[in-house]
């Protein structure tokens, strides 16, 4: 990631409009800010959420609340609790997210 030409600023996430993204089951609610080529999101997954795709985009992801289960296409899986994060490069390892309990994430990609 190369961060350039973004002046200092603050974000009040409560003022950012929410967009709804259905999964195979459950829903994701995104609050999204775009800073040049960098997308920053606060994402809330409902309990029972399962992504409807294998994601190949790179992310840095921090779990704020709840728990997140991430399955890699090669069969490995990882569980995040609050305070845990993961990072993956673009097109490196396709991954799919789910949560039984719901989760709130902070994601930079």
Mean per-residue pLDDT, 11-21: 98
Question: Can you give the residue ranges of every domain in the chain?
Answer: 19-108
Give yes or no for residue 103 having a pLDDT over 90: yes
- For 63-92, how does the pLDDT look when each residue is reduced to its tens digit (9 = 90+)? 999 999 999 999 999 999 999 999 999 999
CATH class of the domain whose range is 19-108: mainly beta
Q: Which residues pair with 16 in a beta bridge?
A: none
52-65 pLDDT, tens per residue?
999 999 999 999 99
Residue 2 has pLDDT above 90, yes or no: no
Label each residue of 65-101 as H, E or C.
EECEEEEECCCCEEEECCCCEEEECCCCCCEEEEECC
Q: Could you tell me the pTM of the whole model?
A: 0.93
User: Between 5 and 107, whose confidence is greater?
Assistant: 107
Per-residue pLDDT, 100: 98
pLDDT over threshold 90, residue 1 = no
Supply the DSSP string of 27-54, one letter for each residue. EEEEEEEEETTEEEEEEEEPTTEE-SS-
């Amino acid at each position: 990631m190369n961060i350039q030409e973004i002046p200092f600023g603050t974000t009040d996430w409560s003022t950012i409009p929410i967009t709804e993204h259905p999964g195979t089951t459950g829903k994701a609610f995104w609050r999204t800010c775009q800073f040049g080529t960098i997308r920053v999101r606060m994402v809330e997954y409902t309990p029972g959420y399962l992504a409807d795709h294998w994601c190949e985009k790179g992310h840095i992801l921090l779990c704020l609340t709840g728990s997140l289960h991430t399955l890699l296409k090669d069969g490995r899986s990882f569980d995040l609790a609050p305070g845990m994060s993961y990072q993956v490069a673009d097109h490196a390892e396709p991954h799919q997210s789910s949560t039984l309990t719901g989760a709130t994430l902070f994601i930079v990609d």
